[in-house]
Amino acid sequence: MKAHTEYLVFETKKRKEMVHITDQVEQIVRRSGIKDGLCFVSPMHITAAIYVNDLESGLIEDIGKWLEELAPERPEYRHHQTGEDNADAHLKALLLHHETTLPITNGKLDLGTWQRVFYAEFDGQRRKRVIVKVLGVA
Amino acid sequence: MKAHTEYLVFETKKRKEMVHITDQVEQIVRRSGIKDGLCFVSPMHITAAIYVNDLESGLIEDIGKWLEELAPERPEYRHHQTGEDNADAHLKALLLHHETTLPITNGKLDLGTWQRVFYAEFDGQRRKRVIVKVLGVA
Amino acid sequence: MKAHTEYLVFETKKRKEMVHITDQVEQIVRRSGIKDGLCFVSPMHITAAIYVNDLESGLIEDIGKWLEELAPERPEYRHHQTGEDNADAHLKALLLHHETTLPITNGKLDLGTWQRVFYAEFDGQRRKRVIVKVLGVA
């Protein structure tokens, strides 16, 4: 049994951006030497999330609009009395859940044909870290 | 330490359907021989989810209606320009989160009295797979 | 490899309440003796959730109001025909997801600066249990 940890860094150009990270996660799984187990992926921030879905630009736009409908930017959040202006980013991150776990079989991510992993940034334009921890049988 | 993997297949009669799968997951845990650890359950598709809640038909209907309110069927999603008509199924799957992890203690799912595991299908009527991976101490 | 399990008990004074539990989870990780691995945290109930976000009272209030907007208390849920009055609590729990997994590195929760763990109670004022299971390398 073995655990392997790496950290990814993202600094998006836009404040809100979906970044496709399946390949980076897959490379970490390969480097871990773990053949069978679980791969945990999570931002170390509270205004970003990880999600698994389709690599299709129309759907990615739909997801962004839908998150804005359900967790809109609004001046009147109480959190903004602290000087922040990003309460919506916290709510969007909660909606998508801040972490995901992925299965590893035969040394690879054991995902379905269309399952792709995304880093969902809701308050970017600065350096943010994502932890990837692989746990399993070497 | 040990890992054990099985795949379940579902082909629902209705396009949207909640399928109670606690017993099937429990049987996989038993076959794994793992006494203490975690059981990961996830569809290998991006229009279905796994959730844990009550086995009560009224509540299951409430959940379906509520998902339809928050992530409605609508023709105007950009994803539909690809020829698809199931963008709402992607959004519903994101809302419930595509995966869940369950605890195993003394060789059994360590769930509360009312916690039951469901496969939530949002674009069914075709064969879809769910991966169940058990990781822990034999 | 090792697994370690403890159960926390909460009985909130208010029916809906967010309880900060990072310190209690951290102490369980320390007692587990596990240096590298994953920490699973989940209520054993279907009207409560675990989430990770900011320890800031304004934002905690924003989250409560937002959950009430997206999953409101309403008399007309079908679940209420069973005599229950808490269908909204089930939906709020689904929205935040009923479980979370946290990474452990060097014997500690490997969280970002602002990441704090909360027990989100939506139907409290009675004893409810949370399972914390740590799995990893001792």
What are the residue boundaries of the structural domains of chain A, listed by start?
Answer: 2-137
Region A98-121 average pLDDT: 97
Could you tell me which residues are beta bridge partners of residue A74? none
Q: Give the whole-angstrom CA distance, residue B66 versus residue A48.
A: 25
Which is nearest to A40 in space by CA: C40, B70, B90, B16? Answer: C40
Q: Give the whole-angstrom CA distance, residue A16 versus residue A129.
A: 15
Contact status of C77 with chain A (Cβ, < 8 Å):
no
Is the Cβ pair A112, B43 closer than 8 Å? Answer: yes
Longest Cα pair distance anywhere in chain C, in angstroms?
Answer: 51
Region B74-80 average pLDDT: 97
Band (pLDDT 50/70/90 cuts) for residue C1 is confident
Region B22-49 average pLDDT: 98
The chains in contact with chain B, meaning 3 or more Cβ pairs closer than 8 Å, are A, C
First to last CA, chain A: 6
DSSP state of B80: G
Contact status of C45 with chain B (Cβ, < 8 Å):
yes
Region C64-89 average pLDDT: 97
Residue C110 has pLDDT above 90, yes or no: yes
Nearest-CB residue to A66 (from B43, B91, B93):
B91
Torsion of Cα atoms, C10 then A93 then C60 then B115, to 10°: -20
Q: Which residues of C touch B101 (CB under 8 A)?
A: 40, 99, 101
Q: Which residues of B touch C5 (CB under 8 A)?
A: 36, 103, 105, 110
Contact status of B56 with chain C (Cβ, < 8 Å):
yes
pLDDT in tens, A30-50: 999 999 999 999 999 999 999
Place of tokens 């924003």: C62
Q: Answer yes or no: are the C-beta atoms of A37 and A135 closer than 8 Å.
A: yes
Region C104-113 average pLDDT: 98
Q: Which two tokens stand for residue A42?
A: 């999570």
Region A89-105 average pLDDT: 97
Q: Give the whole-angstrom CA distance, residue B33 versus residue B27.
A: 10
Determine which helix (DSSP H) or strand (DSSP E) holds C48, and give its type and residue range: strand C48-53
A-C contacts (CB, under 8 Å): 91
Distance from CA of A74 to the nearest CA of B (A): 19
Which residue, among A56, A69, A106, A118, would best test binding to B if mutated, counting the most B CBs under 10 Å from its CB?
A: A56
Amino acid symbol at C74: R
Share of chain B above pLDDT 90, in %: 99
Q: Answer yes or no: are the C-beta atoms of A37 and B3 closer than 8 Å.
A: yes
Contact status of A42 with chain C (Cβ, < 8 Å):
yes
| C-alpha distance from residue C38 to each of A39, A107, A133, B18, B63 (Å) | 10, 19, 8, 30, 30
Dihedral sign (CA B124, B96, B137, B36): negative
* Dihedral pair phi/psi, residue A94, rounded to 5°: -65, -40
pLDDT at residue C16 in the model? 98
Q: Answer yes or no: are the C-beta atoms of C123 and C48 closer than 8 Å.
A: yes
Helix pair angle (A57-70, A87-96), 10° resolution: 120
The chains in contact with chain C, meaning 3 or more Cβ pairs closer than 8 Å, are A, B
pLDDT at residue A39 in the model? 98
DSSP state of B46: S
Q: Give the whole-angstrom CA distance, residue A29 versus residue A110.
A: 11
Contact status of C71 with chain B (Cβ, < 8 Å):
yes
Is the Cβ pair C103, A71 closer than 8 Å? Answer: no
Q: Give the whole-angstrom CA distance, residue C96 versus residue C74.
A: 19
pLDDT at residue A13 in the model? 98
pLDDT at residue B1 in the model? 87
Is the Cβ pair C58, A77 closer than 8 Å? Answer: yes
Query: Which class in CATH covers the domain with range A2-137?
Result: mainly beta
Query: What is the ipTM for the molecules in this complex?
Result: 0.97
* Dihedral pair phi/psi, residue A38, rounded to 5°: -125, 145
